[in-house]
Amino acid sequence: MRVLVTGASGFVGGALVRRLVAGGDTVVAAVRDPATAPPGATVCPIGDMTGPVDWPAAVQGCDAVVHLAARVHVMRDTAADPEAAFAAANVDATRALARAAAAAGARRFVFMSSVKVLGEATAPGRPFRDASPPAPEDAYGRSKLAAEEALAGIPGLEPVVLRPPLVYGPGVRANLRALARLARLPLPLPFGRLDNRRSLVGVTNLTAAVALALVHPDAPGRRLLAADWHPTTAELVRALAVAVGRRPWLLPVPPAWFRAAAAIGAGAAVARLTRPLEVDPAGLRGLGWAPEHVPERELAALVRALG
């Protein structure tokens, strides 16, 4: 196929382009900066998604679209109106691209959404499922849900929505990268009693889900959760320590201490360390998806990429 991939220079986008090219597909990489485009792809500079973008030209001749580019969730949003900023990048741009794709005959449209459309936490032993009712709690989650709904209303389009939780693997950034760096230190870490489970998905296994969504006849119209690992926070930190070649040294600090720290201003990232967020990828597995890489392999690659 000839596939347009937006966000092709990102963490997931780069891995996806490598997979598609290796599989014989032609990839058109829609990127803001041509210098960041991954090798093997035809470069399509689009600039800022919220500005004028010639989407009809970008999708011309393409058989399908994978839309990864987005304004991502940030801890300290400096936008004057976060709701409007997320809507412009994640809803309006998605709708414009999808309409152009449908008009050009690129019917299959794989959209990378987020588990955050369903909420920020689950009850222990009660994971989110594909049919769980949406309950986004922030502007990012609301914008992703609005984009999903916009896709569902475009005639001639075959949308497939993927809702991943935290993605891990080489090139990861933000909180998981910070945890991996902490795990390298010869110091005790205060995570020994954090027994909340948080689902994750490896970047290799997520790109396999995208590749499946591009071709499976039963995928259109589905909104699918993707996850391959469900560790507690303590298990995650232990696994990271092992991956960096250190013996795990975790102190049994009560979870209530973390919640108290978050309450006095330590931030949402600290609060999430103590909250469960599990997902059940049964729908995706029902289409034939199965993890290709075990967590240990992906974590090892993550650590090597840290240098």
In this structure, what CATH number is given to the domain that contains residue 144? Answer: 3.40.50.720
Residue 168 a catalytic site member: no
Instruction: Return the bridge partners of 135, or none.
Output: none
Residue 99 belongs to a domain:
yes
Taking 50 as the pLDDT cut, the residues of the chain under it are: none
Give me the pLDDT at residue 188, please.
92
Its pTM surpasses 0.85: yes
Q: How far apart are CA 71 and CA 86, in angstroms?
A: 6
Mean pLDDT of the chain: 92
Q: Which domain holds residue 105?
A: 2-168+201-228+279-292
Contact indicator for 96, 35 with CB cutoff of 8 Å: no
Measured on CA atoms in the order 160, 280, 19, 90, is the torsion positive or negative? positive
Residue 127 pLDDT: 97
Beta bridge partners of 277: 198
Task: Tell me the residue ranges of DSSP E strands in 50-179.
Answer: 64-67, 108-112, 158-163, 166-168
> Which of the following is catalytic: 140, 168, 191, 229?
140
Instruction: Check residue 50 and give its pLDDT.
Output: 86
pLDDT value, residue 26: 97
The answer to whether residue 251 sits within a structural domain is: no
Residue whose tokens read 């298990």: 235
| Number of domains composing the chain | 1
Number of H helices, E strands in the chain: 12, 9
* Spatial separation of the C-alpha atoms in residues 290 and 40, rounded to whole Å: 26
Q: Is residue 299 part of a domain?
A: no
Type of residue found at 48: D
The partner residues of 159 in beta bridges, in order of sequence, read: 109
Condensed to tens digits (0 to 9), the pLDDT of residues 135-166 reads 999 999 999 999 999 999 999 999 999 999 99
Could you tell me the two tokens for 203? 């970047």
pLDDT at 99: 98
**pLDDT value for 260:** 76
Identify whether 175 is part of a domain.
Answer: no
Is residue 267 included in any domain, yes or no? no
Residue 44 forms part of a structural domain? yes
Is the separation of the CB atoms in 196 and 276 below 8 Å? Answer: yes
Structural domain includes residue 262: no
- Per-residue pLDDT, 175: 80
Nearest to 110 by CA among 227, 2, 1, 4: 4
Q: For residue 10, is it within any domain? A: yes
